[in-house]
Amino acid sequence: MGQFCSEKILWVLALVFTCVLVSINGVEASHKVYPDYQSLTASNVGRLHRTAYHFQPKRHWINDPNGPMYYNGVYHLFYQYNPKGAVWGNIVWAHSVSTDLINWTPLDPTIFPSKPFDKYGCWSGSATVLPGNRPVILYTGIVDQNNTQVQNYAVPANLSDPYLREWVKPDNNPLIVPQAGENKTAFRDPTTAWLGRDGRWRILLGGKRKHRGVAFLYRSRDFLRWTKAKHPLHTAAGTGNWECPDFYPVPKQGSNGLDTSVLGPNVKHVLKVSLDVTRYEYYTLGSYDTDKDRYIPDDTSRDGWNGLRYDYGNFYASKSFFDHSKNRRILWGWANESDTAYDDMTKGWAGIQLIPRVITLDPNGKQLLQWPIPELESLRGENVHLSGQVLKKGDVVEVTGITAAQADVEVTFSFAASSLDLAEQFDPAWKTLDAQDVCGRRGSTVEGGLGPFGLLTLASENLEEYTPVFFRVFKAGYQHVVLMCSDARSSSLMDGLYTPSFAGFVDVDLTDKKLSLRSLIDHSVVESFGARGKTCISSRVYPTLAVSDKAHLYVFNNGTEAVKIETLDAWSMNRPRMN
């Protein structure tokens, strides 16, 4: 009863929070259907805000990355795709292949509605490579117009085809159906399977029970007959529906990735869920109790929307995979548009996949670090290098000589020890706010002590438009709080856009008096990594003046304390072969 009450209170809070969120930032419910636009084939593709080196198909809508894997020398990326229009609907699994995760070749859609067990949609899922080098996909099929969900499998039609173009959905599908009493419309997105010590495979499905988010656990000896475990792997009260769960080990030491089935004392586990209520993703670090088949988050990791996020901006439905060719775990996330469905229909495309990131455990053991795959650096062209330049209060310095609309920028700022004493006070009233609200109040122009300093990306010449990515350092008692923002409020003169002041706190040690930032700028996306990947923020923005060769890049400081550019390297980015 007590638990029910607290769950109810949490849910009411969640609802209030969601309503506030919806009214403030325009977050939409998942799978919003625009019947008029859903099957409007785009004949023209708007070029203005298309990205150059982020993953996009030629046209139309994309969402979640599905079943990423490395198989026989080829990377496969499947993704949710509307072949008929630029809004969500008619969902199939599109398929592209690559040998370097940078240049992509499109293939025909792999999994599309054709059988009673997926007649109304082929939703998200994952790939597992079974012993004997046999890949298998598990995905969610929609079986009726009420969105009833089941889990199906598909296998390559011809293992000797290097691109695995064609996949077969055997007739013994579906493998898993919701049990009586389960919520049939919140029962989806199977994970990559892992093998337990008892020789049984395990997968998670995301869902909910009333308002409790649930990672349902299923086990199988043969990958065909799956039995639901009595207890879910993990649940959290009041968090609503869990979509696209991901569960994997990371080594406690070192920077290698691990196969999903690795267990033992030398690893920690990560559980990531995509919260349907907020449309943000959260992860915890914890231990996997293999005897009880339960996951227990560490004390330092919180479930729900006060928890850790891969990205404090536009990043959802992500999925990771183990790349055994380079012993690393790679993360893919989807960034939705921040313009309107009408804009998307007009430009003929919507959605990008962000740059794949290598995931490692922070040596502090309390969070993950993420960094763009090194292959991205093969696209770097002209380079500009600065060092030793001091930025005083109000300084704005242009970085010239590169294509500012299509760039990779790495900068390290340093400051004097005395500047830390002169950092602005963290207002105790802000303790109830999240980072995004603090950024909303202080922004990039309100004078601080140490900061705001950082980059003005996608800026017009006279700063009518710009997306600042920056730090503000606060004093809170004897400690310092570092805020990182990617603030879209001044990004465009266009109306009707979703322009949040995205922000996250950065748990960084300032003893070396340095803060680093990397931003990947690509026409309508700014993807940023603070303090070598401790805090990441991706913003979608649509400048009207700061486009193509009219875009500028600046470094700025609006704090009373001077900061020094230790080093800054900016590169023009070349265009890969993109689908």
What residues line the site for ligand DQQ (CB under 6 A)?
30, 63-64, 80, 91, 123-124, 140, 188-189, 243-244, 274, 316-317
Instruction: Output 278 or 360, the one with its CB closest to ligand DQQ.
Output: 278
Separation CA 500–CA 483 (nearest Å):
15
DSSP 8-state assignment for residue 375: G
Q: Compute the least distance from the CB of residue 85 to ligand DQQ, in Å.
A: 14
Instruction: Output 207 or 440, the one with its CB closest to ligand DQQ.
Output: 207
Distances in Å between the Cα of 439 and the Cα atoms of 407, 472, 473, 497 are: 25, 9, 12, 18
DSSP 8-state assignment for residue 308: B
Contact 322, 129 (CB under 8 A): no
Classify residue 33 by burial, with Cβ atoms within 10 Å: 0-12, 13-18, 19+: exposed
Separation CA 517–CA 467 (nearest Å):
14
Q: Compute the least distance from the CB of residue 122 to ligand DQQ, in Å.
A: 9
Contacts of 98 (CB under 8 A, 6+ apart): 74, 75, 77, 104, 105
Q: Compute the least distance from the CB of residue 184 to ligand DQQ, in Å.
A: 14
Question: Between vectors from CA 337 to CA 333 and to CA 342, what angle results, nearest 5°?
Answer: 150
* 435, β-bridge pairs: none
Q: Compute the least distance from the CB of residue 61 to ligand DQQ, in Å.
A: 10
Q: Which residue in the list 36, 64, 171, 507 is annotated as catalytic?
A: 64
Classify residue 144 by burial, with Cβ atoms within 10 Å: 0-12, 13-18, 19+: exposed
Q: Which residue is nearest to ligand DQQ (CB)?
A: 123
Q: Compute the least distance from the CB of residue 433 to ligand DQQ, in Å.
A: 27
Instruction: Output 64 or 569, the one with its CB closest to ligand DQQ.
Output: 64
Question: 411 is written with which tokens?
Answer: 């900068």
Indicate the Cα dihedral angle 229, 233, 236, 240, nearest 10°.
-70
Q: Which amino acid is at 23?
A: S
Q: Compute the least distance from the CB of residue 363 to ligand DQQ, in Å.
A: 32
Instruction: Output 11 or 123, the one with its CB closest to ligand DQQ.
Output: 123
Residue 108 falls in the annotated catalytic set? no
Separation CA 220–CA 195 (nearest Å):
9
Instruction: Output 82 or 96, the one with its CB closest to ligand DQQ.
Output: 82
Q: Collapse the DSSP code of 332 into the 3-class scheme (helix H, G, I; strand E, B; otherwise coil) and give the result.
A: strand
Q: Collapse the DSSP code of 391 into the 3-class scheme (helix H, G, I; strand E, B; otherwise coil) and give the result.
A: strand
Give the active site residues. 64
